[in-house]
Amino acid sequence: MRYLEIAGKKPLCGEVTIQGSKNAALPVLTACLLGDGPCVIENCPQIQDVEDTCALLRLLGCKTSRMGHTVSVDASGVEFSAIFCEEAERIRSSVLFLGALLGRMGEAALPYPGGCAIGSRPIDLHLEALKKLGVHFFESLDTGTLRKERAGETVPEIAAEAFTKDLQLCGAGIYANAPHLHGACIQFPQPSVGATENTILAAVLADGETLIENAALEPETEELCRFLNLRGADIQRERGGRIRIFGKKTLRPVRYRLDADRIVAGSYLLAGAACGGSVRFRNLPMEQLASLLAVLSRMGVTVTQDGSMQVQGDLLAAGDVVTAPYPGFPTDLQSPLLAALCLAQGESRICETVFENRFRTAEELRKMGASITVEGSCAKIQGRAMLQGADVCAPDLRGGAALVAAALAASGRSRIQGYDYIARGYEDICRDFQSLGAEIRLTDSGDKKVW
Ligand code: EPZ
């Protein structure tokens, strides 16, 4: 198993470029299914979740290729509508193939999605919305819902093999078809990024107009709409979380460049705040980070328009911070903030309102000497703890990034197990912090290297 080794207590100094957005790349790549021809996605991060998504696209008969940070997807050869495989079970965003396959093929079969264990993560909002668009769900595999392999036609080897395997392997999962996908009015009881994106993916090729109310406002959902409109879709975002979609017959292939990843940017800003020093982040998506910048300002941290960050004197406590759907404080930065506040002067409190089990990093931070008390959905942090390096384990993707920040700020050495979580969303966290002067290294448990 791969783990990180860090020798902390070094101020960070230098410049680093923020990678392309994971949570925009995943729905955009999935949306490549919605039409023939090669789509070219630039600034696409080299992370495991992107590789897994490309594997799912190939399983369906797409051709995918990567040149550095540019990924091409040609969905002309899409033959199948089932994605039963470990990649689909590993990532949360595989559930978006439901909307895309229903839009493209009129049917879909896939396992329940995976993703970080940060809560129960139901998909009821996805299913209820799709039913309104004319989708029928089946409890188990009914071969009538899956496109049978076309006798006599040559199909891509990988797809043919996987499809046959699927028919045997189709176990617990989501089976659906939509004889007539049509527009509808969908009112979400609460904002959901994935349910909004799944509805958009199914509605862009549906017959008629769809209105989504209480849609997610996250920038990544906005990027999906921009990408689809560039392909010829007609998606209009109105005030107050309303999205209006006029269904089209086909979409054209395009070239699209992803925005920078606001959560990676925020994770790195919080690590810089914890360590001190002088750091500049190239292509920081400032306009998407307003809620974090407001908290950092309370902590005595300034960030200028060119992405330069300065900690003015001691790091200060943040008072109360409550996570919320965008434009509120992002739940994905809750763990990195928890880590930074362990080094701040005074008491802070973070309340997590989006996911019900997202404070597991606190236990690991306590191993480093942090003083954190979790009561219900809130964590109280008594800052100024002089963190000591320790052996810790990443409980999930963003918790892993939080532990890196804490270890970089702590005195002594740390070992962080669970690097594979971090690699799902951070392209090369070692390279990035090494470029800021940190002593951080990736080691495989098979290696005998010692410091
Ligand atoms: C997306 O997850 C992101 N993942 C998450 O980032 C992010 O934390 C989350 O949005 C919130 O911003 C990707 O984009 C791949 P939701 P998603 O549906 O779509 C409940 C990361 O670290 N809910 O907005 O799964 C749900 O349980 C990951 O990059 C239902 O009840 O999040 C949660 O409490 C972690 N029923 C809330 O809504 C549903 O059908 C928000 O979830 C769907 C969601």
DSSP 313-359: SSPBP--EEEB-STTSB-GGGHHHHHHHHTTSBSEEEEE--S-SS--
Choose the weakest-confidence range: 150-164, 172-186, 191-205. 150-164
Centroid of ligand 1 to alpha carbon of 184 (angstroms): 23
Confidence of residue 175 (pLDDT cuts 50, 70, 90): confident
**182-198 average pLDDT score:** 98
Centroid of ligand 1 to alpha carbon of 194 (angstroms): 6
- Decide if 116 is catalytic: yes
Percent of the chain with pLDDT over 70: 91
**pLDDT at position 203:** 98
Q: Is 334 in the pocket of ligand 1 (CB under 6 A)?
A: no
Q: Is 122 in the pocket of ligand 1 (CB under 6 A)?
A: yes
**54-70 average pLDDT score:** 96
Say if strands 439-444 and 413-417 run parallel, antiparallel, or are unpaired: unpaired
Among 186, 208, 207, residue whose Cα is nearest residue 198: 186
For a mutational test of ligand 1's pocket, the pick from 91, 121, 221, i.e. the residue with the most ligand atoms closer than 8 A to its C-beta, is 121
Catalytic site residue from 44, 116, 342, 393: 116
Q: Is 28 in the pocket of ligand 1 (CB under 6 A)?
A: no
Pair of tokens at residue 388: 């000591």
Q: How many Å separate Cα 294 from the centre of its chain?
A: 23
Contact of 266 with 21, CB cutoff 8 Å: no
In order of 50, 404, 407, 434, 448, the CA distances from 445 in angstroms are: 25, 18, 19, 21, 8
Taking 50 as the threshold, does the pLDDT of residue 200 lie above it?
Answer: yes
What is the 8-class DSSP label of residue 111?
P
Contact of 80 with 106, CB cutoff 8 Å: no
Centroid of ligand 1 to alpha carbon of 332 (angstroms): 10
**pLDDT at position 121:** 87
Percent of the chain with pLDDT over 90: 80
Q: Is 26 in the pocket of ligand 1 (CB under 6 A)?
A: yes
Q: Determine the Cα–Cα distance for residues 270 and 263; give it in Å rounded to an integer.
A: 10
- Ligand 1 atom at minimum distance from 397 CA: 22
Q: Looking at ligand 1, which residue's alpha carbon is closest to its atom 28?
A: 332
**pLDDT at position 161:** 44
**pLDDT at position 174:** 87
What angle, rounded to 10 degrees, do the helices at 219-230 and 22-31 form?
Answer: 30
Confidence of residue 385 (pLDDT cuts 50, 70, 90): low
Q: Determine the Cα–Cα distance for residues 111 and 172; give it in Å rounded to an integer.
A: 6
Among 389, 324, 328, 396, residue whose Cα is nearest residue 360: 396
* Strand segments (E) across 183-276: 185-187, 209-213, 234-238, 242-246, 255-257
Q: Determine the Cα–Cα distance for residues 247 and 199; give it in Å rounded to an integer.
A: 12
Q: Determine the Cα–Cα distance for residues 255 and 54; give it in Å rounded to an integer.
A: 17
Cross-sheet strand order for the sheet of 185-187: 185-187, 209-213, 242-246, 234-238
Pair of tokens at residue 14: 């230098």
Q: Is 194 in the pocket of ligand 1 (CB under 6 A)?
A: yes
Which comes out higher in pLDDT, residue 255 or 153?
255
Choose the weakest-confidence range: 45-54, 133-142, 304-313, 431-440. 133-142
pTM over 0.75: yes
- Ligand 1 atom at minimum distance from 330 CA: 12
Structure confidence by residue, pLDDT tens digits, 264-302:
999 999 999 999 989 999 999 999 999 999 999 999 999
Taking 50 as the threshold, does the pLDDT of residue 145 lie above it?
Answer: no
Q: Looking at ligand 1, which residue's alpha carbon is closest to its atom 1?
A: 193
In order of 384, 416, 417, the CA distances from 391 in angstroms are: 21, 6, 8
**pLDDT at position 138:** 77
Centroid of ligand 1 to alpha carbon of 316 (angstroms): 30
Confidence of residue 162 (pLDDT cuts 50, 70, 90): very low
Contact of 235 with 228, CB cutoff 8 Å: yes
Secondary structure of residue 113 in the 3-state scheme: coil
Centroid of ligand 1 to alpha carbon of 216 (angstroms): 10
Structure confidence by residue, pLDDT tens digits, 406-433:
999 999 999 999 999 999 999 999 999 9
Centroid of ligand 1 to alpha carbon of 27 (angstroms): 13
**pLDDT at position 79:** 85
